[in-house]
């Protein structure tokens, strides 16, 4: 009995090991960002993201895809009678769980951590506009060819406040909201 259970477990372990796929490559695209929540008056700001992806597949349907991206986000904020660009640059690390159909189309969902590396805030009355850590949740869809070239669209909803500051009459309880359109090439290294 023990030998047959061990044989079955060994069989599935070998099948699982050979079903794994590994790919990595570049990714770049456009960000359309804004702030949601609080009492801030803002419009969309166009930015960009660039970096790399690492995709670890299990079989033909499921994969985990961590990424490291440089991402510019923010909004055009109404301040003192005019609209100014409030830009914050992050190193973001999304970890997406992807489900791929046979034709190459996929859906994805997962968490993202963003680490602020710089901010360009024209209103000098606001101190510490953006926090060092921004947590988000992303979901998207796209298409990836058999050679790894792909396109995708992702919505990233902020879970934490952008900042914790005092200044003006802005309630700091607002979050990042970003739409990303990307092209990428996940070059297959292990099939």
Give the per-residue SS3 of 103-130: CCEEEEEEEEEEEEEEEECCCCCCCCCC
Which has the higher per-residue pLDDT, 82 or 8?
82
* Full set of structural domains in the chain with CATH: 21-190 (2.40.160.20)
State the pLDDT at residue 81.
Answer: 77
Which has the higher per-residue pLDDT, 175 or 38?
175
State the pLDDT at residue 180.
Answer: 98
Region 55-61: mean pLDDT is: 89
Is this model's pTM higher than 0.75 or not?
yes
Region 165-186: mean pLDDT is: 83
Cβ-based neighbour number of residue 13 at 10 Å: 10
> Which two structure tokens, joined as six digits, stand for 88?
């914050």
Nearest to 96 by CA among 56, 147, 42, 39: 56
Q: Quickly state the pLDDT bin for 15 (edges 50, 70, 90).
A: very low
Of all residues in the chain, the percent with pLDDT exceeding 70 is 82
In which element (H, E) is residue 2 found? helix 2-18
pLDDT digit string, tens, across residues 72-89: 999 988 777 788 888 999
pLDDT digit string, tens, across residues 101-150: 988 999 999 999 999 998 887 766 666 678 899 999 999 999 999 899 99
């Amino acid at each position: 009995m023990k030998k047959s259970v061990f044989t079955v477990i060994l069989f599935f372990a070998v099948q699982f090991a050979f079903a794994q796929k590994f790919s990595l490559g570049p990714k770049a695209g456009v960000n359309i960002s804004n702030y949601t929540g609080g009492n801030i008056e803002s419009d969309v700001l166009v930015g960009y993201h660039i970096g790399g992806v690492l995709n670890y597949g299990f079989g033909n349907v499921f994969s985990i895809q961590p990424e490291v991206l440089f991402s510019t986000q923010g909004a055009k904020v109404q301040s003192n009678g005019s609209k100014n660009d409030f830009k914050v640059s992050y190193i973001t690390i999304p970890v997406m769980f992807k489900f791929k159909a046979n034709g190459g189309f996929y859906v994805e969902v997962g968490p993202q951590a963003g680490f602020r590396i710089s901010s360009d805030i024209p209103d000098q009355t606001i101190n510490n506009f953006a926090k060092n850590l921004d947590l988000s949740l992303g979901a998207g869809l796209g298409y990836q060819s058999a050679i790894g070239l792909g396109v995708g669209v992702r919505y990233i909803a902020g879970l934490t406040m952008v900042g914790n500051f005092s200044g003006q009459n802005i309630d700091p309880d607002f979050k990042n909201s970003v739409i990303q359109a990307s092209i990428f090439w996940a070059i297959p290294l292990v099939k």
